[in-house]
Amino acid sequence: MQLVDPRPARPIPIRITPLIDVVFILLVFFMLTSRLLPVSFMELSNSTGDTSSVTGEPVPEVTVVRNGETSWKGETYDIEALVSRLKVSGIEEINLATAATTRLTDFTTAYSRLSDSGITTHWKRSSQAAEEP
């Protein structure tokens, strides 16, 4: 007595349509649940208003010029000297601009050091950089 039906001699075709549906649903799920921006990128605030919202006084502008040096009020400082100078002056918020020859590493180093020291740092886009090809 045979309890199981014997298999047919011809192969049974595998239907692909349900597999494609499952893959599509998984794709949509992972697209909706994943982050679009990598976590390691630095997010820059770009509020470059000329006045602070609290006091109405102009926000000081610091320019990163070359080799990590910064320019503020016509004087050139290295980043550590600038941080201490800003702290002594009681400045807690600045606009950080760049010269045309500034390297990205110098900008990110200055931005990170100023932010880590508790100084609110805004990135200021210069109009010269936009005009240059």
- Write the DSSP assignment of 45-76 as a string of letters: -----SB-TTT-SBPPEEEE-STT-EEETTEE
Answer yes or no: is 16 within a domain: no
In 1-133 the beta strands, taken as DSSP E runs, fall at 61-64, 70-72, 75-77, 93-98, 120-123
CA–CA separation, 57 vs 68, rounded Å?
27
CA–CA separation, 53 vs 118, rounded Å?
18
- Residue 52: per-residue pLDDT: 47
- Which one has a higher pLDDT value, 41 or 113? 113
Q: What confidence tier does 26 reach under pLDDT thresholds 50, 70, 90? A: very high
Answer yes or no: is 43 within a domain: no
How many separate domains does the chain show? Answer: 1
**Residue 108 φ/ψ, nearest 5 degrees:** -65, -35
Answer yes or no: is 30 within a domain: no
Domain span holding position 77: 61-131
Answer yes or no: is 38 within a domain: no
- Residue 56: per-residue pLDDT: 63
- Residue 28: per-residue pLDDT: 93
- Residue 126: per-residue pLDDT: 59
| 95-119: average pLDDT | 86
What would the two tokens of residue 119 be?
């100084």
List pLDDT tens digits, range 31-74.
Answer: 888 866 655 555 665 555 554 455 567 788 888 887 878 888 88
Answer yes or no: is 97 within a domain: yes
> How many other C-beta atoms lie within 10 A of the C-beta of residue 98?
21
Answer yes or no: is 54 within a domain: no
CATH assignment at residue 92: 3.30.420
pTM: 0.54
Q: What confidence tier does 130 reach under pLDDT thresholds 50, 70, 90? A: very low
| 15-26: average pLDDT | 91
Answer yes or no: is 47 within a domain: no
- Residue 73: per-residue pLDDT: 86
Answer yes or no: is 125 within a domain: yes
β partners of residue 77 = 70
Reported for 85-92, long-range contacts at CB under 8 A and 24+ positions apart, including other chains, are 86/60, 86/114, 86/119, 87/117, 87/119, 91/60, 91/119, 92/118, 92/119, 92/120
